[in-house]
Amino acid sequence: VWATGIAFSSYGIRIGIRVNAPEALATVQRCFPPGSKSTAAPVVDRLYSLRVGGTGARRGVRHFHQLYADATRLVRTMQFDEILTALEDHLDSVVATEARGRLFVHAGVVGWHGHAILIPGASGSGKTSLVAALVQAGASYYSDEYAVLDARGRVHPFPRPLSIRTELGEPSRRIRADDLGGVAATTPLSVGLIVVTQHRPGASWRPRSLSPGQAFFALLRNTVAARAQPDKAVPVLRQVASQAPALTGRRGEAAATAGQVLLRAEEMSAPFDHNRRSCQ
Amino acid sequence: VNPNARQDDILTDQLLDETLVYDLQRHKAHRLNKTAAAIWRRCDGQTTIAELAASLPKLGLPADTELVKYTLTRLEQAHLLQERITPALGGPWISRRVMLRRLAQAGTVAVLLPVITSITAPTPAMAASPSCIGEHGIVGTINGEGDCVPGKTPCCNSFKPTVTSGGCKCE
């Protein structure tokens, strides 16, 4: 029943996908996490199976598209786009949880003057809109979803196109960094500023400093593998929290906040001394 | 019974003045300020409460056994002691407000009050949720200090919540 398949490696995890329709393979490859490399390994850690439905042999019969992760059915739908969305989300989730040598934190990330600005936050906290505004203001694009940290606390690009929310219940729009007039980064950076913020209409951004311990907590509560790999997560997050100043405060519109964030990042890009922090 | 700091199934790290402790059994992270960490580190099962109190002046605190008991109670609540100690301490328990007043009367600044802040480490699903998980697994919202304030949000549907008097608890 399976016509063809492909295996790839992403952050040390080997993943296989098999399909019953060869023409679907090129489409699903677009869902692979950034930086994935094809591999000839005969054994994989995760196996996805995509059964493409559509019109059946019998007249008037249509089959569902179905996607499985190992033996678990993830989605059964008539809309092929929903299959692709589910596959992309699940692949990202698996990689973020099980990545070897990298720690994934839910965060938007941009680069500015040689340092990364890290905006930890869960889905719906307004990361993407702030990241988009920062990229439009000249920052380089790293990710609107994950800060990918190495053992030294540097952040690596995870440049999936930005996922801009539209009306409630509507699928998100995908926008590339260059569509915003920005560029997607390719090199890792040390973290220069952590911004903990949530969007509140009408608010103006008047941030206050967080202690390194508070910054550590803000990162930990957004760390995907916090429970699965605490021995890896704690030292990396401690490293980031100790090297970068952190600010917190609700923000208003992203465009108005972006300029202020970049200004703060410039002010704080000098070697940081936590003992000289000031609250404002 | 002399207090004994827990050594097993925890990760500790130092972050400037604060001590980070990750509980591998309960998947909770704790931040101990300088005073709480100093008392916790001296809990070796040999040192008495009176001896712990006698060491407090080095930290700029009065040699007050009630302050040690207050700290031990909080360390026990955070499961950072090997054995329960509060039954041996006896009551009544001193509240944070009373302890602050005692420190003020002794001419000590409030920032030296022992403080332990805790959060539950998120599961992958929790990490993607807009809510935060605070002390005792209670769902809350993040305040201006970046801390999780429990009981301010309705129950989320995604993690089999149970409602407690303190708010919504995620399992």
Sheet of B132-133, strands arranged across: B132-133, B139-142, B148-150
A54 or A102, which is more confident: A102
> Between these two residues, B38 and B103, which has the higher pLDDT value?
B38
Give the model's pLDDT for residue B88: 76
pLDDT of the residue at A107: 95
Higher pLDDT, A188 or A280: A188
* pTM summary value: 0.83
pLDDT, tens digit, 9 for 90 and up, residues A57-106: 777 788 899 999 999 999 898 988 888 888 998 999 899 999 999 999 99
Return the structure tokens found at A92.
Answer: 């990202």
Bigger pLDDT: A276 vs B59? B59
Distance, in angstroms, between A163 CA and closest chain B CA? 15
Which of B19, B20, B143, B171 is the best residue to mutate to test the A interface, defined by the most A CB atoms within 10 Å of its own CB? B20
Closest CA to A215 of A231, A196, A190, A199: A196
Chain B interface residues (partner A, CB cutoff 8 A): 11, 13, 15-16, 18, 20, 22, 24, 27, 29, 31, 117, 119, 121-124, 126-133, 142, 144-148
Looking at residue B18, what is its pLDDT?
Answer: 94
Nearest to A227 by CA among A109, A98, A100, A95: A98
> Which position has the higher pLDDT, A6 or A273?
A6
Q: Would you say residue A164 has pLDDT above 90? A: no
Residue-averaged pLDDT of chain A: 89
Which has the minimum average pLDDT: A105-119, B92-106, B117-131, B157-171?
Answer: B157-171
Please report the ipTM that was assigned to this predicted complex. Answer: 0.81
The 3-state DSSP composition of chain B as helix, strand, coil percent (nearest 5) reads: 35, 25, 40
The closest of A200, A196, A199, A198 to A220, measured between CA atoms, is A196
Of A123, A124, A212, the CB nearest to B15: A212
